[in-house]
Amino acid sequence: MKDLGNSGGLPAETPSSTVELTAENFSQVTALSGIVLVDCWAPWCRNCDDFAKSYRKAAEQHPSHTFATLNTQDQKDVRTTLGIQHVPSLLVYRDGVLLLQQPGSYDEAALSDIIAQAAALDMDMVRKELGA
């Protein structure tokens, strides 16, 4: 996992190398090379709490990837720009390209499968298809 530090505001049990996204760092973090997962959550969301447990475990199991969180209540401008209407939502980027934006809660096995699918993609082909 890329160690970009914990900018504060995350629960104490969140791994310190999980990145808290803000309007200021969102573009920088999601443009990193490799796979970047973003957990979009809100403090009032009970399903978000459940998903956060699986997300933390997945972060521990996949330390070579970047795991980030976006508090959609505090980061309303980012939420609006992304069009996030439901939490939890998962975003998956690879080499700066958004591959997945999907609401819902995922268990560790599903997250591992999503990561494996993102890793298996031919990014040259993805960019070519996006450009068409």
Number of domains in the chain: 1
With respect to residue 2, please indicate whether it lies within any of the assigned structural domains: no
How high is the pLDDT of residue 17? Answer: 62
The 10s digit of each residue's pLDDT in 16-25 is 468 999 999 9
With respect to residue 3, please indicate whether it lies within any of the assigned structural domains: no
CATH code: domain of residue 65: 3.40.30.10
Q: What pTM was computed for the model? A: 0.86
Angle at 96 between CA 72 and CA 12, to 5 degrees: 40
The candidate with the shortest Cα–Cα distance to 90, out of 69, 73, 74, 118, is 69
Cβ atoms within 10 A of the Cβ of 96, count?
A: 14
With respect to residue 95, please indicate whether it lies within any of the assigned structural domains: yes
Q: Rounded to an integer, what distance in angstroms lies between the CA atom of residue 79 and that of residue 65? A: 23
Residue 132 pLDDT greater than 90, yes or no: no
Domain that holds residue 71: 19-131
How high is the pLDDT of residue 6? Answer: 38
> What is the rounded average pLDDT of the residues 84-106?
97
Structure tokens at 11: 């629960």
The 10s digit of each residue's pLDDT in 107-121 is 999 999 999 999 999
With respect to residue 83, please indicate whether it lies within any of the assigned structural domains: yes
With respect to residue 11, please indicate whether it lies within any of the assigned structural domains: no
With respect to residue 7, please indicate whether it lies within any of the assigned structural domains: no
Residue 73 pLDDT greater than 60, yes or no: yes
With respect to residue 10, please indicate whether it lies within any of the assigned structural domains: no
Q: Rounded to an integer, what distance in angstroms lies between the CA atom of residue 59 and that of residue 81? A: 26
With respect to residue 41, please indicate whether it lies within any of the assigned structural domains: yes
How high is the pLDDT of residue 18? Answer: 84
